[in-house]
Chain A
C-alpha cells in the first residue's frame, strides 16, 4: 500500500536554552527544543529532532496553596529555592522553571534587587538551563525583569511572561541580557501571532521566542487547547514564520489547582484515592499536550516527571 506523505514547506524554529562554558555561560548542558518539519512524532514523514523537554517548577517562596499530596514530595526544600532546584536536577528535570512569586505586590512584594539575588543563587546551585518566570503581575514584572535579566546575563535563559501589556520592557530586557522570551496570550491563534509580530517588530529574533497559549488542564477546555496548539502547528508547517515558534504548556500549574486534585476523599469517595488522582491528572494532561505538539512541559510531581519521561522515550523509539 502506498503511504500518503505530507511535505510541509515550513519548519519550527530550533531554540537552544542555556549556555555552557564554550558559549559564555556556566550550564553543564544546553537543551534544544523545536526544529520539527512535521507534526509531532510522525517520524515517517519528517524530522522531530528534539523530544519534548521537561521543566520542573521551583519557587523563590514556599507555595502555600499547593495541596499536601504535592508538597509532601518536596518536604523541607520548598522554602529553599537552591535546595529545591538541586532536588529537581536529581529527579531528572531537563530544565528548571524558576518562578519569582516573592515579587507579588499583594504578597511579600520583594524588590528587584532581592529577586535578582535569588536568581543568581539558584543559577549557582543548579547547572541545568533555566526558565525564569515573573510573579504574574504585569506592572511588577515590568519593574523587575531588567534586573533579573542582568543577573542571569550570559546564561541564555528563557524569560517570561511577555504579554501584550508588558512586551516592550520584557523584549528590551531579554535583548540586553541575551535571553529568549515566552510570549503569553489568551488562547487564540491570532493573538499568539499578533504578540509575536509586536515583539519581533522591536528587532527581537523570531527564532528566540516560545509561544505560551494559556492552556487549561484536562477537563478545563483541554480539547479546545489541543486544537489551538494543533492549528498553530499547522500554520507554522504551512510556512507562517510568526507561528513557527516552539510551544510551552504549564501542565503542573493547570493540574494542581483543579478540584479533582484537591477534593477530599470523604467529600468525593467515588473519585478514588486523592494521592493518585493528581498524579493521573497531571500525567494525562501532559501526555495530551505532548501529542498536541508542546515542546516544553512544565511539571510539578516527581512521579509524573518519571512517568512522562518514559512515555516520551516510547514515543521516539
Chain B
C-alpha cells in the first residue's frame, strides 16, 4: 500500500509509503521546500498547506490561525492516505536564488573512473550511515516497552557490541504514529556522530537497500565526487567539476582574503556548497536514485577548503602563527552546512593536519595504506599543492610545495581535467610514415578534446626524448614538422587543433620541479636515501594512465625501480570513500592527522637551491638520473642541420 502526494502549484506527484513525512516526500518529488533545521521542526520554514486528505501532524510552532487555515510543517507531518499539498511562495526554494550564482558554474561531468586500488581489507565494514530494516514486535500487555526503547532493543540485537544510542526528540515525536501506520515495519538509519550511534532517521517500510553516501574531494582547482552504494560497498558513479571558487581567486590565499568579511565568507561558502549540491544532484539524476536515499557525505580538502565548506572564518590560516579554527571538525548534519541530501543525513570531514596540509592528504595517506607499512614509503599527491609524505606505521612527515594547477589541466592552453576525451598518452614513433607517427590515447577512447595531467607529462617526455625540446624545455626549431609558429610563438600540434605551447612546457617544468625538490628536501631532512624507500605511492586526479617511466624521464619522480611505484588515482576521494564505508578507517584518519609532522619548506634555505636545480630536464644534476642519461646518450640529435 502506498499513498500519492501531489504538490501544488508544481503539480508534481509522488508515491510514498504511508508514514513518510512531507519534507522527505517533497525531495523525492523534486520539489524544493525550504528548511534550515534539517527536519527538526524548529525553523518553521517548511510550512505547507494541506488541501485534500488527512495527515498526522505536530506543527506546534505554527500560530493558531495558520493551523486553522490548514497549514502544517512538512517535516513534522506524515501521510496516511492520498493528499494534495500546496507549497506557499515563502516556503519555495526559488530557482532565481540559485541562478544569481548559477552563471559561474561549470556543469558537472563524468570523471575518470576510480583506479582499482588493491584494497587490503584492513578496515571492517561499518558505514558512517547504516540502514537496518526492523520488524519491531508489537507491544502487548506483557511486553509494554516504550516505542523508543523497543526500537533500540531491536537495533542492539543486530549488533555485537552494545553502542551508546540516542535519538533526537524530533524523531521520537514521530514514533507513535509512524510505527502504527507502518505496521511496525520500519527502516532505521544509524548514523555515527563521533562515538555515539544516533538513530538519524526512521522510515516506514523497508528501504534498507537504498543506502547511499557521497564522497567529495574539494580541491582548490577541482571538485570530485563519488556516489557510493553503502550496502553493495561500491562506487556507483564519479563526477567532477572545476571549483567555482576560482572566480574569487586561483589560490587559497586570495580566497582567504576574500572570505575576510562576513559577506565574502557567505558568498564563497555558498558557491562551494552549491557546487557540491550540483554534483550530488547530477549523481541522483544519472543513477536514478532519490536525494533521500543519500544518508551521509564525507568531504576532504585542504584546510582552507574545509573551513569554507563549513562557513568557518579562515582568516587566521594565513596570519602568523598560522592557526586554523579546527583541524578535526565534528560530524554534523549535512543540512547545517547547506548540503542537500536526506534532511537528517550526516556530513563528516576528514581531519586536517595543519594550516597548509589538509584532510585531502590525510585521506590520501589512509588510501595509500602506508600507515600500516613497517617499511619506508613515500606518498606524493600531485595537486595544485603538491604534498609529499614520508613514513610508515611508526612516523609520518610531510611537506607541501606549490606545484600549480598543471597536473589538473590548469594553466595549459588545451588543458582539461581527466575526463572522457582527454589525451592521457602520447607517443612519437619516428619509424612510421609521416602523418601517422604521432599516437594518442584518450580517456574512454573518445574524440580528443584536450590534454589532462597524465597527457602533458607524456607529451613533454616524448618531445624531450625525441629531441624536439632541449633540456631547458625550449623548442628546437626545425626539429619536427608538427612544430609551427603561431601568433603565440612556437606550438607543437598533437592534432589539428590541440597543441602544446612553450608556456605549457615551462609550466609543467615548474610543477615537476616543485614536487621533485620537495621530495629531495624532505628525504634529506629525515635523513634517508631515496633508495631506502620500498614503495612510492602516487596520487592525483591527473588521469589513470600516468606513466611512471615518463614521469621519471622528465624528472618528476626520483629514479628508483618502477616496480616500487604504484598509482592510486585521486587518493583523497578514495580515502573519503573508505571513511564512508568504515568507521575504523575514519578513526585511522584521525590518528594519521595527529601523527603527521609538518615540515615548512619556506623556512628551508636548501629548498630554493634544489628547486632551481630541478627546473631542467630531467635535472641539472643528471647523475641523479643515470638511466635517463643513458637513454639520452643513445639519441643523437643533430643541431647543426
Question: Which residues of A line the B interface, CB within 8 A?
Answer: 164, 168, 171-172, 175, 188-191, 193-194, 197-198, 201-203
Contact = CB atoms under 8 A, between A and B. Distances in A.
Interface residues of B, number: 15
B616 interface: yes
B640 A188 contact: no
A193 B622 CA distance: 11
Contacts of B472: 164, 194, 198
Contacts of B640: 172, 175, 202-203
Main secondary structure of the interface of A (DSSP, over half): helix
A201 B612 contact: no
Main secondary structure of the interface of B (DSSP, over half): loop
Given A190-B616, A201-B637, 11 more contacts: A171-B639, A175-B640, A190-B612, A193-B621, A194-B471, A194-B620, A197-B471, A198-B470, A201-B471, A202-B639, A203-B639
Contacts of B615: 190, 194
19 contacts: A164-B472, A168-B476, A168-B639, A172-B639, A175-B640, A188-B612, A190-B612, A190-B615, A190-B616, A191-B612, A193-B613, A193-B620, A193-B621, A194-B620, A197-B620, A198-B470, A198-B471, A198-B472, A203-B640
Interface in B607-641: 609, 612-613, 615-616, 620-622, 637, 639-640
A197 B639 contact: no
A203 B635 CA distance: 12
Given A172-B639, A175-B640, A201 B616 contact: no
Contacts of B639: 168, 171-172, 202-203
B187 to A, nearest CB: 64
A165 to B, nearest CB: 9
A190 B471 contact: no
A272 B462 CA distance: 63
Contacts of A201: 470-471, 637
Highest count of chain A CB atoms <10 Å: which of B612, B616, B620, B639: B620
Interface in B589-623: 609, 612-613, 615-616, 620-622
A239 to B, nearest CB: 10
Contacts of B622: 197
Contacts of B471: 194, 197-198, 201
Interface string B453-472: 00000000000000000111
A110 B417 CA distance: 52
A166 to B, nearest CB: 11
Interface in B528-543: none
A190 B620 contact: yes
Query: Ordered nearest first, which 7 A-B pairs have the shortest CB separation?
Result: A190-B612, A190-B613, A202-B639, A190-B620, A194-B616, A193-B620, A194-B620
Contact of B616 (A168, A175, A197, A202): A197
Nearest to A197: B471
Nearest to B636: A203
Contacts of B616: 190, 194, 197
Interface string B340-358: 0000000000000000000
Nearest to A171: B639
A189 B609 CA distance: 9
Contacts of A171: 639
A147 to B, nearest CB: 17
A168 B640 CA distance: 9
A204 B622 CA distance: 18
A14 B637 CA distance: 27
Nearest to B470: A198
A197 B629 CA distance: 12
B489 to A, nearest CB: 13
B509 to A, nearest CB: 11
A260 to B, nearest CB: 30
A206 to B, nearest CB: 13
A213 to B, nearest CB: 14
Nearest to B611: A190
Nearest to B467: A201
A175 B640 CA distance: 10
A171 B640 CA distance: 10
A198 B620 CA distance: 10
Given A197-B620, A197-B622, A203-B639, A190 B609 contact: yes
Contacts of B476: 168
A198 B622 CA distance: 12
A61 to B, nearest CB: 32
Contacts of A189: 609
Contacts of A194: 471-472, 615-616, 620
Highest count of chain B CB atoms <10 Å: which of A168, A171, A190, A193: A190
Contacts of A188: 612
A202 B476 CA distance: 11
B563 to A, nearest CB: 30
Interface string B113-154: 000000000000000000000000000000000000000000
Contacts of A190: 609, 612-613, 615-616, 620
A158 B281 CA distance: 70
Nearest to A196: B620
Nearest to B612: A190
Contacts of A191: 612
Interface in B465-489: 470-472, 476
Nearest to B623: A240
A189 B612 CA distance: 9
A54 to B, nearest CB: 32
A198 B621 CA distance: 13
A231 to B, nearest CB: 10
Nearest to B477: A168
Nearest to B614: A190
A138 to B, nearest CB: 13
